Amino acid sequence: MKRSIFSLFLLIILVSCGATEQPSKVVKTSNKTTNNYWQQHVDYTMEIDMDVNNYQYKGKQKLVYTNNSPDVINHVYYHLFFNAFQPGSEMDVRSRTISDPDPRVGDRISKLQPNEIGYIKVNSLTQNGTSVSYETVGTVLEVQLSQPIQPGESVTFDMGFDAQVPVQIRRSGRNNKEGVALSMSQWYPKLAEYDDEGWHADPYIGREFHGVWGDFDVKLTIDEDYIVGGTGYLQGEPTEKSGKKTHHFKAPKVHDFTWAADPDYIHDTFQMPNGPTLNFYYKRTLDQQYLDNWKKLQADTALLMEFFNEHIGNYPYDQYSVIQGGDGGMEYAMSTLITGKRSYGSLLGVTAHELAHTWFQFLLASNESKHEWMDEGYTTYISNLAMNALSENKKSNPLSGAYRGYIALANSGVEQPLTTHSDRYAFNRAYGAAAYSKGAVFLAQLGYVIGEENRDKTIKTYFENFKFKHPKPFDIIRTAERITDFELDWYFIDFAQTTNTIDYGIASVEGTSITLERIGLMPMPIDLTVTYTDGTTEDFYIPLQMMRGEKPTTATIINDWAWAIPTYSFNAKKAVKSVEIDSSQMMADVDRTNNVFTK
Ligand SMILES: [Zn+2]
């Protein structure tokens, strides 16, 4: 999503159901890839009937769940995200008790009337035809299985549910502020992910998502005048019956399914020469200036997609949809919901950001709740580069804003490590600066550490090896290590797992002797520019000893600096006029006042 945040729910609806009988077993060989990596698999089949008069819908869901883990599973959990939009929910209370709430949420949830709240009520649930007991606890359905699921086994869950679309508060909902009827994200009972770290049945408090990879087959029945866009591929023309149309979508190899619908949508398509069809859904009632912007956006979205294809890896699906909806911008499978009344720069910027999320978080499906900086930070990094590539006025450092944001955070006294769960930041602004800015600096600065070509190759290799999986934070660092043969664990540990800062300074310059000092705790290799009194300059490179290697450089490579030694001295060749540490400013030094010495 685009920066801004928040929150959710409680309200305990207890439902419970009797159990037992032996389910039949379907045993499949487990789907392991190399290095003993495994991930669970889901196949959803859903039939949804929407009533646009009261925004209530009925759903039937068949879920074939394959346990590729080496573990026996006794419980499963479903997310019931819409229950967040009820007074007293965790999202509601958190938003009313944090000191800097997301203005989109504020106290709005607490004021929702019964016909305005969101809910998903599960009416029935069976495992291989046998009833199981379950309980709705806020935004999570806790399910006690009638029969454990063995490693390699597939089971079928059949569920019936009733739901109500909330008035648009955050991301999803009805009648958003621009009048889009239905923004349907996080709208169905969604199985929580189980991986080698166990269950991730996070309550929906404010942020981000994690899901199980699989295939979706969804039939959406809605009044015939509604135009529907979203995840997946439409299977033929919608069928019609008594004033309603059924839109049948299939979406292979995704971990979520989102849609939006409005009777006033214009639907434009833009066919990329060697790529997917781009779809654009926006309201015909928009003012002319906005309609013009949505037309202009189409060819530029193709340019953005080409940029990401080239710099990360190829988009693997046959369509992508940019849809007016939601409450700002949020990324989904094969689609995004963005608000549409924007200046052209803003419309293009939000599209660049959300489209970039297709790579960072959708295809490289890191756990957004736990590792928010891997999706927001890497997305900020690559989308800033893409916007710069499309811009007529190129910036020398398209990430300079991210550096400023991170350095301000580091000096603010409220920084928490990037390993903080996205819901557990004390301040929304600290979350934002950490996830978006520091996360972006993580990749930009990796180029300073290992060299830009190595960093660019790392990103492409990381994508190739981890697409359609759930990479962990260290996977990109191991990728960089394999490409460079450097040791880089220190970079990950200090920058992501701690709030240690980078601060190097020039302690003294006497004659030709230059002494540097390490003031911050975080280690870094040092690029140094020396200007001699005769006006010539020379670049030096001081390798970090624990990195066990030197980046490719044209600078003069001098002795290693061992981290524990607080100072480092060497002699330049001629009388020195001035010295500067990291003139590129790609190292996130939190105090640059001591980086420059002039005689
Ligand atoms: Zn984002």
222-246 pLDDT per residue, tens: 999 999 999 999 999 999 999 999 9
Nearest to 160 by CA among 59, 49, 44: 59
d(C-alpha 532, C-alpha 499), whole Å = 36
Helix (H) or strand (E) holding 305: helix 288-311
* Tokens found for residue 524: 């870094």
Instruction: Please state at what angle helix 473-484 crosses helix 489-496, rounded to 10 degrees.
Output: 150
Nearest to 188 by CA among 279, 104, 251, 266: 251
Ligand 1 centroid to residue 131 C-alpha, Å = 40
In a structure prediction context, what are the per-residue pLDDT tens digits for the chain, which is 599 residues long? 555 433 333 333 333 333 333 333 333 433 334 568 999 999 999 999 999 999 999 999 999 999 999 999 999 999 999 999 999 999 999 999 999 999 999 999 999 999 999 999 999 999 999 999 999 999 999 999 999 999 999 999 999 999 999 999 999 999 999 999 999 999 999 999 999 999 999 999 998 689 999 999 999 999 999 999 999 999 999 999 999 999 999 999 999 999 999 999 999 999 999 889 999 999 999 999 999 999 999 999 999 999 999 999 999 999 999 999 999 999 999 999 999 999 999 999 999 999 999 999 999 999 999 999 999 999 999 999 999 999 999 999 999 999 999 999 999 999 999 999 999 999 999 999 999 999 999 999 999 999 999 999 999 999 999 999 999 999 999 999 999 999 999 999 999 999 999 999 999 999 999 999 999 999 999 999 999 999 999 999 999 999 999 999 999 999 999 999 999 999 999 999 999 999 999 999 999 999 999 98
Question: Which residues lie closer than 8 Å to 289 by C-beta, 6 or more apart?
Answer: none
d(C-alpha 336, C-alpha 563), whole Å = 45
**Strands annotated E in 25-151:** 26-27, 41-51, 56-66, 73-79, 119-127, 130-131, 133-137, 140-149
d(C-alpha 148, C-alpha 101), whole Å = 42
3 state SS of 61: strand
Give 298: exposed, middle or buried? Use CB within 10 Å, 0-12, 13-18, 19+. Answer: middle
Domain 264-363: which topology?
Neutral Protease; domain 2 (1.10.390)
Ligand 1 centroid to residue 421 C-alpha, Å = 16
CA end-to-end span of the chain:
48
Ligand 1 centroid to residue 162 C-alpha, Å = 31
Ligand 1 centroid to residue 356 C-alpha, Å = 8
Ligand 1 centroid to residue 81 C-alpha, Å = 19
pTM of the model: 0.93
pLDDT of the residue at 387: 98
Nearest to 324 by CA among 347, 343, 301, 303: 347
Phi, psi angles (nearest 5°) of residue 106:
50, -130
Ligand 1 centroid to residue 472 C-alpha, Å = 18
Ligand 1 centroid to residue 372 C-alpha, Å = 9
Domain 34-254: which topology?
Immunoglobulin-like (2.60.40)
Ligand 1 centroid to residue 380 C-alpha, Å = 7
d(C-alpha 85, C-alpha 8), whole Å = 6
Nearest to 195 by CA among 39, 89, 70: 39
3 state SS of 16: coil
Ligand 1 centroid to residue 87 C-alpha, Å = 27
Q: Is 424 in contact with 406 (CB distance < 8 Å)?
A: no
Ligand 1 centroid to residue 407 C-alpha, Å = 20
Ligand 1 centroid to residue 377 C-alpha, Å = 8
Ligand 1 centroid to residue 205 C-alpha, Å = 17
581: β partners: 528
d(C-alpha 112, C-alpha 85), whole Å = 8
Do the domains at 34-254 and 264-363 have one common CATH topology? no
pLDDT of the residue at 32: 37
Give 593's DSSP letter. G
Question: Which residues lie closer than 8 Å to 351 by C-beta, 6 or more apart?
Answer: 297, 300, 301, 304, 322, 329, 336, 338
Amino acid identity of 295? K
pLDDT of the residue at 12: 30
Nearest to 438 by CA among 452, 417, 461: 417
Ligand 1 centroid to residue 378 C-alpha, Å = 9
DSSP 143-157: EEEEEEEPTTEEEEE
Q: What are the boundaries of each domain within the chain?
A: 34-254, 264-363, 397-497, 504-598
Amino acid identity of 337? L
Question: Which residues lie closer than 8 Å to 562 by C-beta, 6 or more apart?
Answer: 545, 546
322: β partners: 280, 336
DSSP 314-344: ---SSEEEEEE-TTSEEEETTEEEE-----H
Amino acid identity of 293? N
Give 589's DSSP letter. B
pLDDT of the residue at 209: 84
d(C-alpha 447, C-alpha 454), whole Å = 7
Ligand 1 centroid to residue 304 C-alpha, Å = 16
d(C-alpha 141, C-alpha 374), whole Å = 28
Nearest to 333 by CA among 323, 344, 347, 346: 323
Ligand 1 centroid to residue 286 C-alpha, Å = 25
56: β partners: 51, 164
